[in-house]
Structure 1
Amino acid sequence: MYGISMQLPFDGYHVQGKLTLPVKAQNLIIFSHGHGRSILMPHVHRLALAFQQEGFGTLIFDTLDNHEDIPEESIDIAFLSRGLLTSTQWLHNHSDYHSFNLGYFGSGTGAAAALKAASELGDTIKAVVSISGRLDLVKAELAEVRCPTLLIAGELDFNIVKINQKALSKLNVKKQLAVVSGASHLFEEPDKLNKAAHIAGLWFKKYLAPEKLKSDTDISKKITGLI
């Protein structure tokens, strides 16, 4: 396992990123977190570590260093999406990372930005996982997403559950909504964040790195059995 700090292009400027790669990693999960400094958030690192332990590379970067107090509803999803596109295309074209399978893991407004970006990237993004996603902030773009998409929400986060149920109906790809029992918006209850990470990891194993999970595995049943 090794990690490097890097400067990534982001819609006309550069942002700080942390890339962590297990030995022989061939798959990279790009975190899309639109609110606050993700590099400083413990739960982001817990999720990243869970993916790394499954053999996935992770990339975490900050986009709103000076805007931690902006309400989610005021965040510019189009801006976040453009920046995510810029960074993703840079990685995809970089000689060191061109062969990697790329996936998005987005939370809150970052999930909306990830799905908007995925809708424009076609086959470049192999899988998307959204957790507590503000998917009411993207609408027409959902129908344009071309990769398998998993939506995760906490059972006690009633508004987000409704938002994700509506979003699920607009997706025209392999999809699933996993509502984790007893979990709230930030999955702060005992073991709920670990459960969400495990569910997300199964999705990435199936669709980002299919060699890690047998192709005939019924992923929907496995996930349903966990929630």
Structure 2
Amino acid sequence: MDHPRKEVRATISELIRVPVAGGALTGELEAPTQARALVLFAHGSGSSRHSPRNRMVAAELRTARLGTVLVDLLTDSEGREDLATGAHRFDIELLGRRVTAVVDWLTAEPDLSGLPLVLFGASTGAAAALVAAAERPDRVLTVVSRGGRPDLAQAALSRVRAPVLLVVGGRDPQVLRLNEQAARRLRAPHALRVVPDATHLFEEPGALEEVAAATKEWCEDRLRALRGERGRHAVP
């Protein structure tokens, strides 16, 4: 994969609005000076960019010079409808299109387009992230799933080219089983990381810290591999 790199020239911290059919998606972008990559968080199952768990992980990732984008995958009106009825939270086709739309928006931004892009999905957002990775194979460096439902990505699983890290709580047996089944359908390089004492929401002391540490390590490995790939293709 070719991921041309251009460092962000200055620290960016701002609200963003990504146009989509029927409205816009609201997000928060924070990119440290000389960010090495961007991590786009895909929320799911009734969550939003205000998720305290994803915000905690995002803050940890920024200490490793990884910019973060936390974005709502539903418009304001869709969010209100979903809160009342749950109509959209399992609509993986819709959520996948929304993650793809944000990927395209980031790619079009001059200060961000050169940064490698990591997709971080939680719950149904993991399936949406995998769908987007399958749709934009030349733009997505890697995908990380936290307590996710990758099985809901269905046919997209076999089309994902980016390496995938699946992080699951050891005390979340049903989701662990679904992740193991999804992993067998992945053709891309992948790893399954089990946090032994964690339940589905990783609310136990130290559980989210372990998720953040595993994500940083995984991203570091992917960025190191990317540098090596560029070096092999460099013109003498």
TM (norm. structure 1) is: 0.87
Q: Name stretches of at least 5 consecutive residues in structure 1 with no aligned partner.
A: 216-227
Q: Deviations over 1:166-197 (max 9, x none)?
A: 01111111110011101000000110110011
Is the 8 Å Cα contact of residues 37 and 63 (structure 1) preserved in structure 2?
Answer: no
**Alignment of structure 1 residues 36-185 onto 2, 5 Å:** 36-64=46-74, 65-66=79-80, 67-68=82-83, 70-71=85-86, 75-185=90-200
Is the 8 Å Cα contact of residues 151 and 176 (structure 1) preserved in structure 2?
Answer: yes
Larger Rg: 2
SS in 1 for 2:70: strand
Is the 8 Å Cα contact of residues 72 and 109 (structure 1) preserved in structure 2?
Answer: no
Name 2:219's counterpart in structure 1. Answer: 204
Q: Deviations over 1:50-78 (max 9, x none)?
A: 11011100000112332235559962100
4+ residue runs over 6 A deviation: 211-215
SS in 2 for 1:130: strand
Q: Find the aligned partners of 2:67 and 2:85 in 1 and give their Cα distance.
A: 30
Is the 8 Å Cα contact of residues 42 and 73 (structure 2) preserved in structure 1?
Answer: no
Is the 8 Å Cα contact of residues 206 and 213 (structure 1) preserved in structure 2?
Answer: no
Query: How far off its partner does 1:26 sit?
Result: 3.2
Q: Find the aligned partners of 1:133 and 1:188 in 2 and give their Cα distance.
A: 15
Query: How far off its partner does 1:34 sit?
Result: 2.0
SS in 1 for 2:39: strand
Is the 8 Å Cα contact of residues 81 and 116 (structure 1) preserved in structure 2?
Answer: yes
- Counterpart amino acid of 1:28? L
Q: Find the aligned partners of 1:100 and 1:133 in 2 and give their Cα distance.
A: 25
Asked if 1:5 is matched to 2:15, the reply is yes
Is the 8 Å Cα contact of residues 122 and 147 (structure 2) preserved in structure 1?
Answer: yes
SS in 2 for 1:68: helix
Q: Find the aligned partners of 1:57 and 1:10 in 2 and give their Cα distance.
A: 23
Query: How far off its partner does 1:125 sit?
Result: 0.2
Q: Relative to structure 1, is the Cα distance of residues 74 and 51 closer, same or farther in structure 2, using a 3 angstrom cutoff?
A: closer
Asked if 1:16 is matched to 2:31, the reply is no
Query: How far off its partner does 1:134 sit?
Result: 1.2
- Counterpart amino acid of 2:181? K
TM (norm. structure 2) is: 0.84
- Counterpart amino acid of 1:51? L
SS in 1 for 2:83: coil
Name 1:220's counterpart in structure 2. Answer: none
Q: Find the aligned partners of 1:73 and 1:171 in 2 and give their Cα distance.
A: 26
Query: How far off its partner does 1:11 sit?
Result: 4.2
Is the 8 Å Cα contact of residues 46 and 89 (structure 2) preserved in structure 1?
Answer: no
Query: How far off its partner does 1:93 sit?
Result: 2.1
Query: How far off its partner does 1:2 sit?
Result: 4.2
Q: How many residues align?
A: 214
Q: Relative to structure 1, is the Cα distance of residues 73 and 99 closer, same or farther in structure 2, using a 3 angstrom cutoff?
A: closer
Q: Find the aligned partners of 2:174 and 2:16 in 1 and give their Cα distance.
A: 36
